[in-house]
Structure 1
């Protein structure tokens, strides 16, 4: 599987994105198809295709993505009200870009479970 994705192009600044956070390990930007008032994607700068490809050596990097999520929650003022962090894996899990990424969704109350296919969706 190629490591070049739309996300690697965003990291390389070949494709524009509404970037809200960046450090040496990660990049966070607004989702182009938001499912909540606040919806950002947090990606590692190291390409890892799926959750299945995460190795013990990636533990610190993957943990860092969650640290960034918590930082953004506090910075944007929704840490206390709550938010959802989701990482999809492969086709049946809803993954469309094969470069792991956290979805951080906030700004409205969300239901559980988040059904698909014309049923209840993130509320």
Structure 2
């Protein structure tokens, strides 16, 4: 199922432009339009899922594929050796900006972790 109002569904179906770097029957990956690092990709399931909270048993294959594709793309982009971050924001408090489950693959520079005024 796709949501015709969802920007990520529209990218998956080719109705919105995007710099797509990977696509198969379960997931699509594309460049983030507001990159936070030299490598910043989004990996999304091809069917509409609002967030992790909407994941059902039948979605396990797509979520596993998202992780496998992230590993492959990190290797392709040369950040597998230096490190990268995988992030899935869920809900308003996590600043999920698009209500379609998506995984950020971020790398290519040191990525400090800041939370509640502390840096790790």
TM-score (structure 2 length as normaliser): 0.90
Partner residue in 2 for 1:105 = 106
What is the CA distance between 1:96 and its match in structure 2?
1.1
Gaps of 5+ in 2: none
d(CA) in 1 for partners of 2:87, 2:118:
17
What is the aligned partner in structure 1 of residue 55 from structure 2?
A: 54
1:120, distance to aligned residue in structure 2 (A): 7.5
Q: Distance in 2 between matches of 1:21 and 1:70?
A: 12
The alignment's C-alpha RMSD in Å is 2.0
Counterpart CA distance in 2 for 1:44 and 1:92 is: 22
Deviation string 1:42-100 (CA, Å, 9 cap, x unpaired) is 00101111110111221121011000000001111110111000000011111011110
In 2, Cα distance between the equivalents of 1:13 and 1:46? 13
Within 1, Cα distance between the matches of 2:16 and 2:39?
A: 21
Residues 65-104 of structure 1: pairs in structure 2 closer than 5 A: 65-104=66-105
Per-residue deviation, 1:115: 3.6
The structure whose residues are more often strand, as a share, is: 2
The 5 A counterparts of 1:6-25 are 6-25=7-26
Structure 1 runs not aligned, ≥5 long: none
| Alignment partners' CA distance in 1, 2:118 and 2:29 | 27
Q: Match of 2:30? A: 29
Q: So what's the TM-score if we normalise by structure 1?
A: 0.88
